[in-house]
Amino acid sequence: MFETAFGRDHHWHYHPEIIKQADSYMVKVVMPEGGGHNFHVHPEMHEILYVLKGTAEQWIEDEMQLLEAGDSVYIGANVAHGTFNAGQGELEFLAILSPPEGWEAGTVDVSESAPYSEYRPRI
């Protein structure tokens, strides 16, 4: 399943519409140069990000780190985070989310709320 959302290409490998019994969901995200996913939370799902290509400016709450190909990070449920393309060319990464029961709670944008609005400008 493929979708373009918020200027990013999403290549879903495991998704509720594809495999209903999956215990986790996985998507390859292709983010253009200068693009990003503003601060947000997944209220009922944790997430693992694994960088395939490029450089990610990865925020988890108030901490920022640069991730390169082969790096990964774990983000707990309801923890604010944002991912931005900090390099030249496209950023590609895998995002693995679980448990599937948390899917309905969705993704909540917190990028306009303090303190996140003070860490980095919205894209």
* Dihedral sign computed on CA atoms, order 111, 104, 10, 26: positive
Assign residue 46 the CATH number of its domain: 2.60.120.10
Please tell me the distance from the alpha carbon of residue 78 to that of residue 120, in angstroms, as a whole number. Answer: 19
Query: pLDDT of the chain along its 123 residues, tens only?
Result: 666 666 777 677 766 667 777 788 889 999 999 999 999 999 999 999 999 999 999 999 999 999 999 999 999 999 999 999 999 999 999 999 999 889 889 999 999 999 999 999 999
Q: 3-state class of 22 per DSSP? A: coil
- Number of domains, the chain: 1
Residue with tokens 């707990």: 76
Q: How far is CA 121 from CA 35, 38, 71, in A?
A: 12, 9, 24
Nearest CA to 13 out of 53, 3, 34 is that of 3
Residue with tokens 């919205």: 122
The dihedral formed by the CA atoms of 34, 93, 100 and 20, expressed in degrees to the nearest 10: 110
Question: Which domain, by its residues, includes 45?
Answer: 2-119
Please tell me the distance from the alpha carbon of residue 52 to that of residue 70, in angstroms, as a whole number. Answer: 6
